[in-house]
Amino acid sequence: MVAGFQWLADGNAVLYDVRQSAATRAFELLSPQTGKRRPFGDMAKLRAGMKTARGTDQMTMLTFNSTGTHGFVEFEGGIVLADIAKGEVTTIAQGAKEDCTRFSPDGTKIAFVRGNDLYVYDINSKVESRLTNDGSATVLNGTHSWVYWEEVFDREDAGYYWSPDSKALAYYQSDESPVSTITFPHFKPAVQENILQRYPKAGGVNPKVRLGVVELNANNAPSATKWVDFGEASFEYVVRVKWLPDSKRVSVQTLTRDQQELALYFADRATGKATRILKETNEGWVNVHDDLYFMKDGKSFIWASERTGFNHLYRYTMNGTLQNAITKGSWAVGEARGRAIAGVDEKNEWVYFKALEKSSVERHLYRIKFDGSKMQRLTEETGTHTITMNETATHYFDNYSSLTAPPSLSLHSADGKRLQVLSPSRPEAMAAYQLQFPTLLTIPTPDGFQMPAQILKPRDFDTKKRYPVIIYVYGGPSAPNVINAWQGDNYFYQILADAGYVVVKMDNRSAAAISKLYENTCLKQLAGDSELNDLLAGVRWLKQQAFVDSTRIGIWGWSFGGAFTLLAMTHSKEFKAGIAVAAPTDWRYYDTKYTEAFMKTPQDNPAGYEKTNLNAHAKNLHGRLYLVHGTYDDNVHPQNVWNFIDELVKAGKQFDLMIYPMRKHGISDAPARIHLYKSMVEFWKNHL
């Protein structure tokens, strides 16, 4: 781990070094201009206050307001608010459950959601104001339904947005009453409790969503909500919201049900009337992004688009007229659905952005002029650079790692010059584990695609021996696994390598995040022929290598990777054994937003759904299979594994099974994780 940090509005940063002992950790204020660090706040008082509020004096990195005067942390008993200078700690609404907490831009107020209603707390007056009153089990204000949380906002509960002047909030209201209900029985009570979840299945009914703006008067009393009026526009999803700098308008992005058209609107704060500025279309689906930057002079904005087949940045006037392409080429800005724009220096007309220009398995920082000239790469080390720039675009933090270098954190000036290493890489900490590291390569497919891959060999590798191979797959659209970065699964794969296995990862073309053209190859046949053909090309290449025992090839994956594993083992005879964890087995069982982007609805693509229905092919299983699932998996519901098992039983196919009671999709608690990984090692030893 590296030090925690947060940039403040004045260009300075707060640091919290988790590498120090818990007793000595302290907040520090870093001046990037001088490089000097000084204590920030009275830590003794803050620890004492935290112990009173939370029952522990163990500090964590707080979320600070823009000026750094206050910070907060959420916990089950409420929100702990800390006055940094005074060292005072206050618990807001103790005993209640608050979520989605955010400071106002001016740092004087906190908004949060309680009981599906939106509230504001004034820090100076210590007065709480309720902004909405109709929250219920099915009406959500300022917080998201499951499908929006999971698929639209990537598990961030971003349900409301402060205006830059801190006097209004734009918020989502979701009506979940028409959404289908899923039930999870809890096994502990004598009479089982049923936990309910609202979850829209592919082709089913989504929550009804609208966007409103609520004004705050001088005493933080709310106005009546002004709902955004889109006129006769037809769409299914409201996917992004962002205020314009002058606070007079709010931008809203909408997406059609087939996800082939995304529109950008500007809505007037006073009237609610929305005007369409531009639209993006794609024959497959439009990927939602966060790369919308408004110039402070109010004359133009920067926008990302995959219209050429590669994600690039464009400059527009405020009425939606294209001025120029800023970036271009056979490479993509961004990082596999990640935000591309790191910062903008409007005075000197520089856009700082992340891109895959050097390599699809690396992540680097670049800068370029507004007119598309003078592009230069600022990061030098081969590997992955995660960049966080300050608001003034004068300095940035670089969290760097590679396959062989553990993470480090350094401070840089905007021209790329390294000013200070804050958290150095610590290879010595890994020395005790004697880790071996994977080798990057590309595997050619018959049509010429160079598939990114990596291979980890045992430490006592003997070129004269033939080794069993375990292939890890994910394979979902623009979700690469082969990245030149420090990988959290290094330790597990070292255990497998020490047990005598060669461990391989490979990214089929739709997963590799190289281009939209490759991504669209899985259209209407998700986890189908395109992904499988690339995987089998990789397997056949491996079997040609002198060090591979071609009779002992294993495959495993989690979630989409679990489906990919089942696809491979029911549609080929290349694998001796496989493990499928939390695998979707029929896309009709999965949610609307994710599934329909690639598959469209079951009503529009019945043949595609039937072809990719793994349950129908369970009878063709080849090799020993180990199925794993949690009974409270609210992402890939247990009905997936039950249906696949039912078909295996009817076909007389033997298999192994591990069920984790009341675990969700990640099976994430330590006892369950340890148990699962030990059982996987045992499975490989028994069957590979």
Contact in structure between 631 and 239 (CB atoms under 8 Å): no
**Given the residues 70, 395, 637, 665, the one annotated as active site:** 665
CB atoms within 10 A of CB 634: 16
Q: Tokens representing 137?
A: 């089990």
CA distance 240 to 289: 8
CA distance 116 to 478: 33
Q: Are 76 and 31 in contact (CB under 8 A)?
A: no
The whole-angstrom separation of Cα 574 and Cα 544 is 13
Q: What residues form DSSP beta bridges with 78?
A: 75
Residue type, 180: S
Judge whether 124 and 115 are in contact, CB under 8 Å.
Answer: no
The closest alpha carbon to 236, from 252, 217, 213, 255, belongs to 255
d(CA 371, CA 464): 57
Max CA separation in the chain (angstroms) = 79
DSSP string, 327-343: --SSS-BSSSSS--EEE
H or E stretch covering 495: helix 490-498
665 as an active site residue: the answer is: yes
Distances (CA, A) of 69 to 7, 53, 104, 255, 276: 13, 19, 13, 39, 39
From the candidates 395, 559, 591, 629, give the one annotated as an active-site residue: 559
DSSP 353: E
Report how far residue 131's alpha carbon sits from residue 113's, in angstroms, rounded to the nearest whole number. Answer: 10
| Distance, CA of 95 to chain centre | 30
Q: Is 144 an annotated catalytic residue?
A: no
- Write down the catalytic residue from 291, 515, 633, 637: 633
For every residue of 407-464, DSSP letters joined together read -EEEEEETTS-EEEEEE---HHHHGGGT----EEEEEE-TTS-EEEEEEE--TT--TT
Is 177 known to be catalytic?
A: no
Q: Which residues are designated catalytic?
A: 559, 633, 665
